[in-house]
Structures are given as C-alpha cells and as structure tokens.
Copies of this chain bind each other. A is one copy, B any other.
Amino acid sequence: MVGGGQGAFIGGVHRIAARLDGAFALVAGALSSTPEKSRASGAELGLDPARCYADFRAMAQREARRKDGVEAVAIVTPNHMHAGPAIEFLKRGIHVICDKPLTATMAEAKKLARVAAESKALFILTHNYTGYPMVRQARAMVARGDLGRIRLVQVEYVQDWLTEAVEATGSKQAEWRTDPARSGAGGALGDIGTHAYNLAAFVAGMEPQALAADLASFVPGRQLDDNAHVMLRYADGAKGTLWASQVAPGNENGLRLRIYGDKGGLDWGQEDPNRLWFTPFGQPRQLLTRNGAGALPENNRVSRVPAGHPEGYLEAFATIYSEAAQAIRAHQAGQALPAGVHFPTLADGLAGMRFVEACVQSARRNAAWVTL
C-alpha cells in the first residue's frame, strides 16, 4: 500500500476492503511521507519493518526484486500522488489498485495512461459505488431494456462536511481536498462529482456527449468548487443533471441516481443501498432488494448475506477488490475475465478527468456547453 498511514481515512477503508473477502493480505507499504511515520504506521499494522518503505520508489524497486514481492499495490494517497507511484509499479509489472480520481491533472492522467497501455499489469480504479449489488442490478436492468429507451439521467452526490471552512481549522481531509496543488482543478467535482459521473455512466451504459456547468465556491477563501450544477446531454437525445455539493447541511453521503426511460424508472441511494426502486410505467412501484425477490444474477453474484441483512460501503468496496483479485488471477493464468466480473479501469479514470476538465472549462465560459 502506498499512502494510508496514521490519520488517513481512505487507507483504512482499502485495507478492510482488501481483506474482507480474504483475497489479499497486506505485506508491504510506503504508508507515509516520512520514513519515521511510514515505519510507525507499518508497525501498527503488523508489517515486517523491512517492508515498510520510506517512499514508493524504494518500495516499487525492492518489492519488484523480491521473490515474494507484492503482486498488487493499493495507492491511497491524495490525487496529485497517484500517477507517480502508479507508473513506478506498472512499469515493474505490479498490478495497481488506485483510488479516484485518477490524478490531479489531465497531463498526469495521459502519461499514466501511456504507461498502463504498455504495462503487463492491470490498473484498477476504486470507483467503489459500482460494487453495490443494487447498482449491479440497476445496470443489468437498463442493459436488458427494462426501462426502455433512456431519456433522463439524474444523479447527485450531496454532503455537508465543507459547509464551513474546516480546511482552515485543522481538518487534514479538508486541507488537501480544497488545495488545487494536491487535488487538481476540481474540488467537490473531483472528490465526489467523479463518483456520481462514474455511477451514472456505469448504470446508464452511456456517457454524456456534452455538458454545461455552473460551479461555486461558497465558503469564503475556498479555492476550489464546493458545489457544482451540471446539465448533461447524451448522443441520442437523452438529458440529465449532475449535482455535487459539499455544503448542503444535513447531507452525509447522499449519492442518488434516478434514471428514466420510456418504459420505466430506477431510483437508488447510497445511504440505503440494499434497496432499489423499479417503477415500470403504469404499474405499481416495486422495491427490489439485495439478494431478495426479483434479484438478478448480477445482484446475487456480489451479495454475501441474505436479503434483509444490510451490506454497506465496505462490502461494495470489497467487491471491487475481490473482482480485482479475480481479474488478476485470470490475467496471471492467461485467461479471459470471468463472466460477470467488473471493475473500473483507467478508461473510467480518464472519463472522470475529462468530466472535471469539461466542467471547469464550461464554468469559465459562463456555463457554455462543452463537448466531452
């Protein structure tokens, strides 16, 4: 693991996710920016001190040389520190599991894409919301035509933790997320907007062709957007909106997707993830559940416990890891990806970067339409 030392949030999530289904064991890390902290963090996690590295380059080099070196590395640093380590490991044929957004800048993203294209290793992006069973169900239902032709894609990801200037009062999480140098051009856009964008594309099975964005930084002094209103247009005439906000009091992680076609609709929210509304036009609304009545194989495949026992964020995240493991095993064996396995790739990461870039461009031009 690169990053995820003491005080970090997402590193711990990755570690639980990696271990939940038993497919990965943590054996080495460059966990922090200083050798001391890295060692201390490693010790806390029970790592062999010899495999607690002072930086990602040392880790990539030495692990690549070890017979029992890591097969895959998780990169859980702030955005501007994704490309560097990813490239080092990919070059050495070590599979990379990387947090989103792909990078802080499009230039880095493209460089990383070039390296990945030449690498024998896989690159997996943890757009973890695609791991939810009901999201898999939704995608399958759209794909098989349950909604008819898609007309509307309404997605929002709404939080409140940046309502006040917590970046100025000691929140490490807020500091780097509101810092263009570490996060890139998008604030809420990059942090949560890319998740919303990816989720919508994953379920709808299509990406918008153009967008118009109005960005705001409501908190005085904040350099990046903390609210984004985006209108979307798709190639076939479908339309949508994406709303990302980190300044809406009362919202914790309100990621919600509604999709409507000429035959029916779907409605899913991350805070109650084991349920999915299916609303066939002219018929009673149906509440589908994880592993429950009406569940499709795509839903059951990634469920662990019976219907009514809630699975959550960590399980969805673990599904990304489990499927990464399956993909890596298949890759190592020279086999095709097992049926049903899905994981977000570098292409998803690039799409997210283009989304952020397009929103920023549009916003600078007074919300003019920008082609994706």
Contact = CB atoms under 8 A, between A and B. Distances in A.
Nearest to A252: B308
Interface in A201-226: 212, 214, 216, 218
A227 to B, nearest CB: 7
Contact of A262 (B163, B285, B309): B163
Interface in A238-282: 239-241, 243, 245, 247-254, 258, 260-265, 267, 270-274, 277-282
Contact of A307 (B252, B287, B293): B252
Interface stretch (A17-25, A30-38, A88-96, A119-127): A17-25
Interface in A285-308: 285-289, 292-294, 304-308
A71 interface: no
Interface residues of A, number: 83
19 contacts: A19-B22, A20-B20, A152-B247, A163-B281, A216-B239, A218-B237, A229-B231, A249-B263, A249-B264, A250-B277, A250-B281, A252-B309, A270-B309, A271-B274, A278-B284, A284-B288, A304-B314, A367-B367, A367-B369
Interface of A: 9, 12-13, 15-16, 19-22, 147, 151-152, 154, 159-160, 163-164, 212, 214, 216, 218, 227, 229, 231, 233, 237, 239-241, 243, 245, 247-254, 258, 260-265, 267, 270-274, 277-289, 292-294, 304-315, 366-367, 369
